[in-house]
Amino acid sequence: MVEVERAIYPHSDRSIIEELKARGIRKVLSYGPLELPNGVRVLGKGKTGIVVLTEDFKALKIRRADSPKETLEIEAKIQARAEGVAPKVFDFGRNFILMEYVNGRHISREDVDVLPKLVEKAHELDSRGIQHDELVRPWKNVLRDEGGNVYILDYDDASIRPNPRNVTSVLTAFGLVDLAKEYSRVKDIKYVLERLSQFFHA
């Protein structure tokens, strides 16, 4: 266990520390696949956040002190709207999102077994008007757990739009360009799922 200030990156920031402490977050676990230069282990690191495991096994995304974004609040609200697709949001503030921890791994092109589930989740985002915007690179933003469940992470670039293209992006990422085009035209998710089961179980 380490003091939460040691997970603030790349330099100390008083307002981040104060907000976390005011919300009762003082210590985190040094655990995960990545190590910060100061030796603290973390679940992940991106361009806007550092993600650490808390004492009660939740994932805490802390705004990077050098993030170009002033606040994580918009991201957190979109993520909350994506409940059931994204890790559940428990609390958030300008500098943090406290969410469900996903004990899983990033997907790769070989993970076609979870593609139907991923397409359904992408469709769920479409129907809630959420454009994720990074699903052309699902390898960076999708985790799968042992039970084969998938979670779409990181709503940093997401926005609310009338015609989201998450399903199209996922299909394109997996090289299913023709199916993506057909979906854009007919917008029939059942048809896409049938075609996927033909491809992969035939």
Ligand X SMILES: Nc1ncnc2c1ncn2[C@@H]1O[C@H](COP(=O)(O)OP(=O)(O)O)[C@@H](O)[C@H]1O
22 SS3 class: helix
Q: Does 49 bind ligand X (CB under 6 A)?
A: yes
Distance of CA 186 to the CA centre of its chain: 28
Residues 97-116 that bind ligand X (CB under 6 A): 99-102
Beta bridge partners of 160: 130
Q: Does 154 bind Mg ion (CB under 5 A)?
A: yes
* Orientation angle between helical segments 189-201 and 177-186, nearest 10 degrees: 160
Q: Which of 84, 99, 66, 76 is nearest to 158 (CA)?
A: 76
Distances (CA, A) of 188 to 112, 118, 120, 133, 192: 20, 16, 12, 21, 7
Q: In whole angstroms, how close is the CB of 48 to ligand X at the nearest point?
A: 4
Residues 157-176 that bind Mg ion (CB under 5 A): none
Sequence length of the chain is 202
Task: Please say which residue, 139 or 191, places its beta carbon nearer to ligand X.
Answer: 139
Per the structure block, which two tokens stand in for 30? 């040094």
Task: Please say which residue, 75 or 154, places its beta carbon nearer to Mg ion.
Answer: 154
Cis upstream peptide for 10 (omega within 30°): yes
Window contacting ligand X (CB under 6 A); options: 16-24, 42-50, 121-129, 161-169 = 42-50
Q: In whole angstroms, how close is the CB of 192 to ligand X at the nearest point?
A: 26
Q: Does 138 bind ligand X (CB under 6 A)?
A: no
- Residue 201: count of CB within 10 angstroms of its CB: 7
Residues 145-164 that bind ligand X (CB under 6 A): 153-154, 156
Binding-site partner at residue 101 among ligand X, Mg ion, none, CB < 5 to 8 Å by type: ligand X
Q: Does 136 bind Mg ion (CB under 5 A)?
A: no
- Residue 170: count of CB within 10 angstroms of its CB: 26
Per the structure block, which two tokens stand in for 141? 């933003």
Window contacting ligand X (CB under 6 A); options: 3-11, 39-47, 122-130, 158-166 = 39-47
Task: Please say which residue, 44 or 164, places its beta carbon nearer to ligand X.
Answer: 44
Q: From the list 4, 7, 8, 51, which residue makes contact with ligand X (rule: CB under 6 A)?
A: 51
Interacting residues with Mg ion (CB under 5 A): 46, 154
Which residues are near ligand X by CB under 6 A?
43-44, 46-49, 51, 59, 61, 87, 99-102, 153-154, 156
